[in-house]
Amino acid sequence: MKTLSVALPGREYEIYIESGLLDRAGEHIRAVCPRAKRLSVVTDSNVAPLYLQRVQNALASAGFAVEGIVVPAGESSKSLEMLGQLYGQMLDFGLSRTDAVVALGGGVVGDLTGFAAATVLRGVDFIQIPTTLLAQVDSSVGGKVAIDLPAGKNLAGSFWQPKVVLMDPDCLNTLPDAVFCDGMAEVIKYGCIRDEAFFRLLDGCGSRAGVMAHIEQVLHTCCAIKADIVRADERESGLRMLLNFGHTIGHAFEVAGAYEKWTHGQAVAVGMLWAARLGAQLGVTPARIEEEIAALLAKYDLPRHIPCPWNVMEHAVCRDKKRGDGGIRVVLLNELGQACTRAMEIPDLLTNLKELHGQRVGL
């Protein structure tokens, strides 16, 4: 078993990475929630047939009363309506402030369930059991939880750290190739922003099979990078912004596809290329970096271009959560493995992006 500690004062927790960990979920959760009697386990319609009963059995063996709640798979479940339904089901189950809520699934389930845990009864304990690559390397660690609003993605949320994160790499074996590759965008992001050697390792792996041969190392490396950043900046006031490399423009691509046509990973993949091109335009990023990232994305069947009308991109950038006082901090690369932020006025950023948008028409 590989373990990592996220050492936030008063909110410390462990990340456990081990094959077969689903069957030992009960003992790990009992260790961090000794007073809990009831657990609400939230999952989605894709994951439930694969793992819900197995996890419920593991939790029941540790003495918990367990309720399974299944939401429709997909981004549309991160809504106020679905949040209200979770509240109702949890309260009908008799959930109390000494009980806990478990997220079993990918990033949508983790975000939705975490926000429910942060707000129901003014906050109950929260456990993450991520089952997708994207969730295991990124969204399950760090405590950012949210739902979407009509105005944009993740615009209502909180910081609510889990009590423990349980990662079973065997869950990745049931992912369709497209979902696995979706997670690889976030994996590649970590190499871009913090670890060039890791970027080169991913380049050498070259395929899903190659990554799976090193999967515990891959998961540990990504989580270690994120844990270090979260320890230093839990609420994204500075250093944690680096984790948003590729996301400012990536969110525009998600909007352009109505959150259905393009996945988060696909959008971030192309967003990283735009960030690299923007950095080169501003004299921050060597021009070759875009080509190196594009070549690595191609190995994992991630797109290098997504069509996006200019008005959609402009609107998404103006609504970005990192904006403030007429400006925004964009995440760029000084080199592979060396990310930085740069303060820009919104009009200046839009001028630069519009020029890039024109360059990319028809690509």
Tokens of 207: 């395929």
> Which one from 189, 194, 226, 321 is the annotated catalytic residue?
226
24 is catalytic: no
| Cβ–Cβ < 8 Å for 138, 128 | no
What distances in angstroms separate CA 62 from CA 22, 57, 189, one per listed residue? 13, 9, 38
> Which one from 67, 75, 186, 290 is the annotated catalytic residue?
186
> Which one from 67, 236, 254, 290 is the annotated catalytic residue?
236
226 is catalytic: yes
247 is catalytic: yes
> Which one from 251, 299, 321, 357 is the annotated catalytic residue?
251
311 is catalytic: no
> Which one from 247, 277, 321, 357 is the annotated catalytic residue?
247
> Which one from 28, 144, 163, 299 is the annotated catalytic residue?
144
> Which one from 75, 78, 153, 244 is the annotated catalytic residue?
244
> Which one from 264, 277, 299, 321 is the annotated catalytic residue?
264
Burial class (CB in 10 A: 0-12, 13-18, 19+), 5: exposed
240 is catalytic: yes
264 is catalytic: yes
What's the Rg (C-alpha) of the chain? 20
333 three-class SS: strand
The pair phi, psi for residue 105, each rounded to 5°, is 160, -155
67 is catalytic: no
186 is catalytic: yes
Distance of CA 43 to the CA centre of its chain: 16
**Residues facing residue 62 across a β-bridge:** none
Cα–Cα distance measured from residue 78 to residue 63, given in angstroms and rounded to the nearest whole number: 30
Count of beta carbons in the 10 Å neighbourhood of residue 338 = 15
Active-site residues: which are they? 122, 144, 186, 226, 236, 240, 244, 247, 251, 264
